Structure 1
Amino acid sequence: MRRFKRTLVAAALTTTVIAGTAGWATGNQQQAVTGPPPGTTAWRTDQVLHRDLPDPASAGPATVARFFASLSEAQRQELAARHPLVVGNLDGAPVALRYQANRWAISAEEAGERARAADSSQAPYQRQAAADRAERYRKLLAPGRQILAFDPRGRGQLAEVYGDLAAARHTAVVVPGSDIDLGSFDRDRDPYGTPAGMARSLRAELARQAPGTPTAVIAWAGYTTPVGLGLDAATGRLAQAGAPRLDRFLGGLAATGTPAPAVFCHSYGSVVCGLAAHTLDRAEAGDLVVLGSPGVRAESAAGLHTRARVWAVRRDHGDWIGDIPHVEILGLGHGADPTAEDFGARPVSSAGAHGHTGYFAPGTESLHNFARITLGAYGAVSTG
């Protein structure tokens, strides 16, 4: 009876939150970008090599890796030049080739937006929007940037590598939460709430803790995130669409010889990680670390059915996510609190962190611990 009463209270709280008393009604429903990358139709019919090319919709990363291993460098370059959006997003393709393909794809998108911005037949607001997108693409083409995935559809998706992925002995992947897309990927405001800011901060901490050890951190914004705190943020619909994309991305890293990363899942990104967890083996993710989490759609760490080590970062008292009911009722909410002792995750201290986006801020115990987990120094992780 007591449990039933708690459920009723939780349901009432969830309904109240969704109704907007905590601001959750401010979001806009998003259409998830799914399926193979743009240009797949032309890729499937291309017989330039006098053989079928691996279907981006069905060929697994290991199959893709074997296919590219069978080609000469000239053949790889030709495919990348002919189909940059496909090769640039093809998990299992050589990393350096994906960097090059994405530079070509972004350059083409920038040129198209510049042309639209100069088209006098367009309305002024359309021309300005095109100019803004072109400027965004120009910044992605800055020397030294390593774009591992680029998809201009919808609000845009991106993955960027910080460090030498080919030489790295330890790696990490950052999975962000709501309001992240091509435009906010590396915004100046609230930098440690962006995948780029999180990844750069972790990479710098890795260099501080293990100078001379090759490391790489990937900021992965490869799924359609919720906007604001509406129904998209309260349900698993977008996470269910994003989880297979994360699984495939991590499989692509494993297929190209990248050491199994520690995967850091922030906010709604932890819902994505929770739904992907059961498909990941130790070669694809050695550790899953959830922070600022509303839940992972499981009632316990064991319920994730993953071979990865599962960690939960203790919340800062100023993190508003702690006010969200940790329930799942009629599709609303994301389940148990991963930081609860009975959930069974390994605890991680966040001393010094402030708010919902402060966990990667320099000097925090959470950031120190993230580097220790990435480096495999598990005994040094403080629990708080």
Structure 2
Amino acid sequence: MRRFGRTLVTAAVAVAVVAGTAGWASADNQRAVTGPPPGADAWRADSVSGRRLPDPAGAPPREVAAFFAGLDEAGRRRLLVRHPLVVGNLEGAPLPLRYEANRLAVLATGDARFASLAGPGRRILAFDPRGRGQVAEVFGDLEHAAHVSVIVPGSDNDATAYDARRTPHTGPAGMARALRAAAAGDTAVVAWTGYTTPVGVGLDAADGRLAEVGAVRLARFTAGLDAVGAPDPVLFCHSYGSVVCGLAARHTDASDVVVFGSPGMRAGTAAGLGTTARVWAARGPSDWISDVPNVEVAGIGHGADPTSPAFGARRIPAGDVRGHTGYFAPGTRSLAAFASIADGAAR
């Protein structure tokens, strides 16, 4: 991949290269999926045991958790069957109920692109078929985990491509599986493709519009984990996903924020993220993201390099990482460091 010049003009173009996978194809602007999934109006019009249902758009996850705690099994099953898409995406709802609701929701779409998500043993924590689709999957026992990590991927990720063949240990699910295998047995990992990602290289990847929407969704997702009693999560944020995490950090209860292959976090320093979480950063020697100037010009670009000493993040060894997506390859120093952070052992 060619290196860019360092003038302001070429910098403004170069910062467009912040995709989650390598490539130079241009793409149309993506329309961000926002709000609750289809079926929210029917949910709001319903009730159970004479009780109004919590608003899927605005009810705090802790309120949702309290609501379900007050229902008997029959009431929960009734809502599951009548409103699977809403229950499956309702932050604060019981985890087993969400897994079952999303299995039903996937099957109800009748869409072959999503069919594998309903397979035996899958723990799909969120599923939204709108647009290119969004999905979150759990690896491990999230209900009883002592540690929780969330993978936040970059561009070209969605529900339609979630189960597509990839190079091992890449993509949100591949990264999650690799981290789960390397971490302690009491660590659960969530592959969270819960926002509309950019496609290819273009203005979507260079500006923060999709990341801003994604940050709101990520913050609500982490609040949902907290509402069901999960430990404070570690956020592992790849490429454009690190822009999402940078904007969301101050609104989450994350214990650690780990960025790798990052084009910037829309903050000048780690302190500027406004979070009490420890901030870590890694970049491999052959990662093409190093060709992207860390500038922001008229809203284009994502700012300072998180691996620079001036940024103030803790550095993660990544000298043996190959390319932009090799951070979770078995045997790499980066994966070993990631596992130590995920387990709470890193200092």
Structure 2: segments with no counterpart, 5+ residues: none
Question: 1:229 and 2:206 equivalent?
Answer: no
User: 1:249, CA displacement in angstroms?
Assistant: 0.4
What is the distance in 2 between the residues matched to 1:93 and 1:291?
31
What is the distance in 1 between the residues matched to 2:214 and 2:74?
34
Aligned equivalent of 2:343, options 358, 372, 375: 375
**Matches of residues 93-104 of structure 1 in structure 2 within 5 Å?**
93-104=93-104
Q: Which residue of 1 aligns with 2:287?
A: 319
**Matches of residues 1-384 of structure 1 in structure 2 within 5 Å?**
10-17=7-14, 26-110=26-110, 113=111, 134=112, 136-206=113-183, 210=184, 213-281=185-253, 285-313=254-282, 315-379=283-347
Distance 1:10-1:332 versus aligned 2 partners, 3 A rule: farther
**32-41 or 185-194, which deviates more:** 185-194
Letter in 2 for 1:293: S
What is the distance in 1 between the residues matched to 2:330 and 2:308?
26
1:341 is paired with a residue whose SS is: coil
Residue pair 2:169, 2:177 contacting (<8 A) in 1 also: no
Distance 1:82-1:280 versus aligned 2 partners, 3 A rule: same
Letter in 2 for 1:272: V
What is the distance in 1 between the residues matched to 2:228 and 2:116?
27
CA offset digits 1:208-239 (Å, max 9, x no partner): xx3xx422110000000000011100000000
What is the distance in 2 between the residues matched to 1:172 and 1:19?
28
- The structure showing larger relative contact order (alpha-carbon pairs under 8 Å, at least 6 residues apart) is 2
Distance 1:179-1:23 versus aligned 2 partners, 3 A rule: closer
2:335 is paired with a residue whose SS is: helix
Residue pair 2:88, 2:99 contacting (<8 A) in 1 also: yes
User: 1:49, CA displacement in angstroms?
Assistant: 2.9
2:116 is paired with a residue whose SS is: helix
User: 1:10, CA displacement in angstroms?
Assistant: 5.0
Give aligned-pair identity as a percent. 61
1:216 is paired with a residue whose SS is: strand
User: 1:378, CA displacement in angstroms?
Assistant: 1.3
Structure 1: segments with no counterpart, 5+ residues: 1-7, 114-133, 380-384
Residue pair 2:29, 2:203 contacting (<8 A) in 1 also: yes
What is the distance in 2 between the residues matched to 1:196 and 1:10?
38
**42-51 or 97-106, which deviates more:** 42-51
What is the distance in 2 between the residues matched to 1:173 and 1:265?
8
What is the distance in 2 between the residues matched to 1:377 and 1:139?
35
Distance 1:262-1:23 versus aligned 2 partners, 3 A rule: closer
Letter in 2 for 1:243: A
Distance 1:290-1:68 versus aligned 2 partners, 3 A rule: same
User: 1:329, CA displacement in angstroms?
Assistant: 1.4
User: 1:184, CA displacement in angstroms?
Assistant: 2.0
Residue pair 1:19, 1:25 contacting (<8 A) in 2 also: no
Distance 1:371-1:70 versus aligned 2 partners, 3 A rule: same
Aligned residues: CA RMSD: 1.7
What is the distance in 2 between the residues matched to 1:287 and 1:85?
31
- In terms of fraction of residues, the more helix-rich structure is 1
Distance 1:18-1:26 versus aligned 2 partners, 3 A rule: farther
Residue pair 1:337, 1:343 contacting (<8 A) in 2 also: yes
Residue pair 1:171, 1:262 contacting (<8 A) in 2 also: yes
Distance 1:344-1:359 versus aligned 2 partners, 3 A rule: same
User: 1:47, CA displacement in angstroms?
Assistant: 2.6
User: 1:25, CA displacement in angstroms?
Assistant: 6.5
Q: Which residue of 2 aligns with 1:120?
A: none
User: 1:52, CA displacement in angstroms?
Assistant: 1.2
2:8 is paired with a residue whose SS is: helix
Letter in 2 for 1:360: F
What is the distance in 1 between the residues matched to 2:299 and 2:47?
46
What is the distance in 2 between the residues matched to 1:25 and 1:137?
25
Q: Number of matched residues? A: 339
- Which has the greater radius of gyration? 1
Runs of 4+ residues over 3 Å off in structure 1: 22-25
Residue pair 2:114, 2:160 contacting (<8 A) in 1 also: no
1:192 is paired with a residue whose SS is: coil
User: 1:11, CA displacement in angstroms?
Assistant: 2.3
What is the distance in 1 between the residues matched to 2:267 and 2:24?
22
What is the distance in 1 between the residues matched to 2:25 and 2:114?
32
CA offset digits 1:34-64 (Å, max 9, x no partner): 0112110000011343221110111111111
Residue pair 2:16, 2:205 contacting (<8 A) in 1 also: no
